[in-house]
Structure 1
Amino acid sequence: MSASWPQVLALGVAQTVAWASSTYLAAVLAKPLAAELEINSSLVFAAFSCSLLLMAVLGPLVGRYIDRHGGQRVLCLSSLILAAGLVGLGMAGGVVGLFAAWALIGIGMALGLYDAAFAALVREHGVAARAPITGITLLGGFASTIGWPLTAWLVAQGDWRSACFFWAATNLLLALPLYFRFVPAARHLAGQVTGAVGGEPSDGKRHGPSDGRRRNFLALVVFGAATAFVTSAMAAHLPGLLLVSGLPVAVAIGAAALVGPAQVAARLAEFVAAHKFRTNPLATARLATVLHPLGGIGLLLIGGPAGAAAFALLHGAGNGMITIARGTLPLFLFGPLSYGLLQGKLAVAQRMTQAAAPFLFALLLESGGAFWGIAASFSLSLLGLAALFVIRDGSQPPQR
């Protein structure tokens, strides 16, 4: 059964709200929040990193539940918990309240961001979930484009606390009803057999011997962890990286702003290609992973505004498709059987590196400058690319 356009649109909007009110919140709120609470802004990011670690720990449990019962209860609960965490953040009076609020937000993220939404779609649509996954990430690509300026405007019009309360209300009044209406309850889902991760897919096709499945799983772990580090590092430091490379502030900010449109354009291209030509997700993932290193080469060799723009565009396009690949590759390689649990396990390493990347990349930029920052992200992208070439899909005979 394929997803309807209303469902894709509804979940895309709900995911935009979820991402804008969680992952993309700290970057705007950190300074005013820290100033009012009289703490260092690094503590705000430390609390955010803890929320990502909590999200990683809970991922497999959330995925297993969705495999068995569908995604409606989980996604609706995510909106409630995100709202509670945002209210708590808006009422925080010190470090304890700050960390407690971000812990709640971390639980909400585990229950309601892409991994959970993808698992819900696969639980409902099986192998036909690739198209709605791509459609939802296409809409979700606007989360930073909408979230950052809207949050900044709310802070300017009121304060950071009113921004938290606004996003809490948006989760309750917009995202929650959309999940309830467009994600089917468990009783309305067709039955699917669940089993061990990497077992025989529900389509009846075996994807190589068990050692091949283990190899593919480990390769996906390496791919996900390496690319998540690069994604998180660039999200936190791309303007700073361009500034350290010697570009003026206006050029650095302008180039960094190209990432969002490039992500959306690449996801749209992937959606069209997958629909028209039924492209292989593994080939698409390999193409996506090579774009960041190409952008790094362009920045180093060309330099100036042109090099910065090329870097931002190629990184954005690659990152946009990598987000889709993290959802579609496990489905392509292993089928819909226990997809949620598999995604939860894969997400553990991704969230760990995502949480560590902003701090570690900041140290790297401070000690080694732009060259070593680019070299590190270049190397990790190539590691992710190498992992993808280790993978063998079901259409290929097992190697002797």
Structure 2
Amino acid sequence: MTPAPVVAAGPRSGGPPHARGWRLVAALAVTQTVGYGVLYYSFAVLMRPIATTLGVSTATVTGAMTCAILAGAAMAVPVGRWLDRHGGRALMTTGSLVATGLLVAWSQAQHVWQLYAVLVGIGATGAMVLYEPAFAVLVSWFGAARRAKALLAVTVVAGFASAIFLPLAGFLVDRHGWRTALLVLAAVHGIVTVPLHALAVPKRPRPDPDGPPPAATGATRAAVVRAALADTRFWAMAVAFVAHGAAMTAMTFHLVGLLTDAGHPVTFAATVVGLLGVLSVTGRIVLTGVQRRIRTTTVVAAIFAVQAGAALSLLVVGGSRAGAVVGVVAFGLGFGIASLAAPALLADRYGTVAYATIAGSLAVPITLARAGAPLGAAALQAGGGYPPVVLGISGACLVAAVGILVRAASPSPVGDPISDSASI
């Protein structure tokens, strides 16, 4: 069956005619930093003391975070539909309020079932306030000429969330215990994110001057989503970003173990792994800087291929400190690429009318892959040590590179108004 035409917004010559758009960028940069720092990264510090208090294993506590990730995946499409229809202000403000309340409830958890219930709620509210809705708001507000800079600004600032909140959470836990630490983090989260989302996020999506008239938006939105899901390029992107997401998560969980197994001290391994956050920012800056001169798909595929080779290099030269650093640096340059590349490819291909719904559809399999990757990697490690894990990560990066190239080479659907020369 011939796919329906894909409606895409053509490039805009500009963006918001005033400073409101950049105030929005500044606000979201702050809320994403605090949101990821409190709702995601602090868990790494809280995990062991919570397990000790509740009298369970760290694996049991980790399972709660896995459930949170799955809850976020389940919310991705409904959240996307809401954003396309109603905008981000009410959703993100409500999500911030509820997440703050759940952090307080988390601090009072006395039983494992309470921990799981709270973290499932945090996973669901995370889908309402973190990158996916923030990107949808930015994509709907900024034209193509300024969109990349807006996304880059938010992700560069938020890339330092771990560097800020891991030490902060550690300090609070050491001084006051994990329950008080969560109360302090809840206060920080509520005081910062709720007013910024309520005041800075637009109430409704900004009308797209290149899109259909408002009266036709509802019907057109559904048509665009159907066309995207029937588009070969969408599924090529899905394969690429699912494989890449799985590889990144597996490497995050197992890189310290890989390096210590190669003979490095734990302190050295942890320090080297800490480079990934900084390198993710570097990779995003590189992508944004070169995509005006080189096709985005070419750059992204090349970086994914470099990551495949870098992972393999850790098996060959990872036993030396210089080899380990070089391998991690090369791998880390692609660590944050997907968070910028996916919004750019989706918006330029399908426009902004149904962006959030399409992005949510893509986020579901990616999130599921991220949730399952650590378990799959652990099974490989148990069966044959770290070489099978590294080979799996390298292979996934190579699949991701091929998927991006297939996306670039796939023919446009019949009736597609985007010419091959204009598309990314």
Normalised to the residue count of structure 1, the TM-score between the two structures is 0.90
**Equivalent position amino acid for 1:225 in 2:** V
Q: 1:278 to 1:164 in 2, by over 3 A?
A: farther
Q: Which moved more, 1:59-68 or 1:280-289?
A: 280-289
**Equivalent position amino acid for 2:296 in 1:** P
Residues 125-148 of structure 1: CA distance to partner in whole angstroms, max 9, x if unpaired?
253433211211111111111121
3-state DSSP of counterpart to 2:39: coil
Q: 1:365 to 1:162 in 2, by over 3 A?
A: same
In structure 2, distance between residues paired with 1:220 and 1:133: 19
Correspondence list, 1:244-323, <5 A: 244-274=261-291, 277=292, 279-303=294-318, 304-323=320-339
- Name the counterpart of 1:47: 64
Q: CA deviation at 1:345?
A: 0.4
Correspondence list, 1:194-273, <5 A: 194=218, 195-196=220-221, 199=224, 214-273=231-290
Q: CA deviation at 1:32?
A: 0.4
Q: 1:25 to 1:197 in 2, by over 3 A?
A: farther
Q: 1:104 to 1:251 in 2, by over 3 A?
A: same
**Equivalent position amino acid for 1:237 in 2:** H
Could you tell me whether the CA contact under 8 Å between 2:297 and 2:408 is conserved in 1? no
User: What is the aligned-residue identity percentage?
Assistant: 29
Q: CA deviation at 1:294?
A: 2.3
Q: Which moved more, 1:346-355 or 1:285-294?
A: 285-294
Q: CA deviation at 1:268?
A: 2.3
In structure 1, distance between residues paired with 2:101 and 2:83: 22
Could you tell me whether the CA contact under 8 Å between 1:241 and 1:365 is conserved in 2? no
Q: 1:250 to 1:336 in 2, by over 3 A?
A: same
**Alignment pair present for 1:173 and 2:191:** yes
3-state DSSP of counterpart to 1:392: helix
In structure 1, distance between residues paired with 2:101 and 2:143: 32
**Equivalent position amino acid for 1:312 in 2:** V
Could you tell me whether the CA contact under 8 Å between 1:16 and 1:140 is conserved in 2? yes
Instruction: Work out which of the residue numbers 152, 155, 160 in structure 1 matches 2:173.
Output: 155
Q: CA deviation at 1:356?
A: 1.0
**Equivalent position amino acid for 2:420 in 1:** Q
Q: CA deviation at 1:113?
A: 1.2
**Alignment pair present for 1:358 and 2:382:** no
In structure 1, distance between residues paired with 2:167 and 2:228: 48
Could you tell me whether the CA contact under 8 Å between 1:198 and 1:334 is conserved in 2? no
**Equivalent position amino acid for 2:259 in 1:** L
Q: 1:35 to 1:239 in 2, by over 3 A?
A: same
In structure 2, distance between residues paired with 1:45 and 1:392: 38
Residues 343-398 of structure 1: CA distance to partner in whole angstroms, max 9, x if unpaired?
11001101111111222212222322221111010011111111111113744279
Could you tell me whether the CA contact under 8 Å between 2:71 and 2:121 is conserved in 1? no
Could you tell me whether the CA contact under 8 Å between 2:242 and 2:366 is conserved in 1? yes
Residues 277-335 of structure 1: CA distance to partner in whole angstroms, max 9, x if unpaired?
35432223213322321211322232211121122212221012222112222112222
- Name the counterpart of 1:205: none
Runs of 4+ in structure 1 deviating by more than 4 angstroms, as ranges, are: 209-213
Could you tell me whether the CA contact under 8 Å between 2:221 and 2:354 is conserved in 1? yes
Residues 210-251 of structure 1: CA distance to partner in whole angstroms, max 9, x if unpaired?
699611111121112111111211222221121123322232
Residues matched between the structures, number: 387
Could you tell me whether the CA contact under 8 Å between 1:19 and 1:113 is conserved in 2? yes
Q: CA deviation at 1:254?
A: 2.0
In structure 1, distance between residues paired with 2:267 and 2:306: 24
Q: Which runs of 5+ in 2 are unaligned?
A: 1-14, 209-213, 410-417
Q: Which runs of 5+ in 1 are unaligned?
A: 201-208
**Equivalent position amino acid for 2:168 in 1:** L
In structure 2, distance between residues paired with 1:159 and 1:110: 28
In structure 2, distance between residues paired with 1:157 and 1:278: 51
Q: CA deviation at 1:124?
A: 2.1
In structure 2, distance between residues paired with 1:179 and 1:11: 8
Could you tell me whether the CA contact under 8 Å between 1:290 and 1:318 is conserved in 2? no
In structure 2, distance between residues paired with 1:151 and 1:361: 28
Could you tell me whether the CA contact under 8 Å between 1:290 and 1:381 is conserved in 2? yes
Instruction: Work out which of the residue numbers 155, 164, 168 in structure 1 matches 2:182.
Output: 164
